[in-house]
Amino acid sequence: MKLVVDIKKRIGDFTLEVAFETDGETTGLLGASGSGKSITLQLIAGIETPDEGQIVLNNRVLFDSEKGINLPSRKRRVSYLFQNYALFPHMTVAENILFPLTNVKEEKRKDRLEEVLRLMALKGLKNRYPAQLSGGQQQRVALARGIIGKPEALLLDEPFSALDDYLKTTLIKELMEALKGYQGATLFVSHNMEEAYRICPKLLVLSKGRVEAYGSRETLHHYPPTLSVAKLTGYRSFSKFQTLSSYVIKALEWDIELQVENIPAKQETFITIASEKIYLAEDSPENANIFSAWINTYEEGPRRVLCYLTLKRPPAHSKDDHLEWELSKEEWENIKNKPQPFRIRIPKEGIRFLKE
Ligand SMILES: Nc1ncnc2c1ncn2[C@@H]1O[C@H](COP(=O)(O)OP(=O)(O)OP(=O)(O)O)[C@@H](O)[C@H]1O
**Tens of pLDDT, residues 59-107:** 999 999 999 999 999 899 999 987 667 789 999 999 999 998 887 888 8
Asked whether the bond before 315 is cis by omega within 30 degrees of 0, the reply is yes
* Alpha carbon of 323 to ligand 1 centroid (Å): 34
Q: Look at ligand 1, atom 6, and give the residue with the nearest C-alpha.
A: 11
Pocket test for ligand 1, best of 14, 17, 30, 205 (most atoms within 8 A of CB): 14
Sign of CA dihedral 176, 181, 182, 185: positive
Rounded to whole angstroms, the Cα distance separating 20 from 29 reads: 11
Contact 187, 42 (CB under 8 A): no
Q: Which atom of ligand 1 is nearest to the CA of 191?
A: 25
Instruction: Provide ipTM, 2 decimals.
Output: 0.96
* Alpha carbon of 113 to ligand 1 centroid (Å): 34
Going along 193-318, which residue ranges are E strands? 202-207, 210-216, 238-245, 248-251, 256-259, 268-273, 279-280, 290-300, 304-310
Answer yes or no: is pLDDT of 296 > 60: yes
Contact 143, 81 (CB under 8 A): yes
Q: How confident is the model at residue 198 (pLDDT cuts 50, 70, 90)?
A: confident
* Alpha carbon of 49 to ligand 1 centroid (Å): 14
Consecutive H or E run containing 299: strand 290-300
pTM: 0.81
Sign of CA dihedral 200, 205, 209, 212: negative
Cβ–ligand 1 contact at 37 (below 6 Å): yes
Q: How confident is the model at residue 305 (pLDDT cuts 50, 70, 90)?
A: very high
pLDDT over 90, % of the chain: 45
Which tens digit of pLDDT belongs to each residue from 182-197?
678 889 898 878 788 8
* Alpha carbon of 316 to ligand 1 centroid (Å): 42
Sign of CA dihedral 114, 117, 120, 121: negative
Per-residue model confidence (pLDDT) at position 284: 65
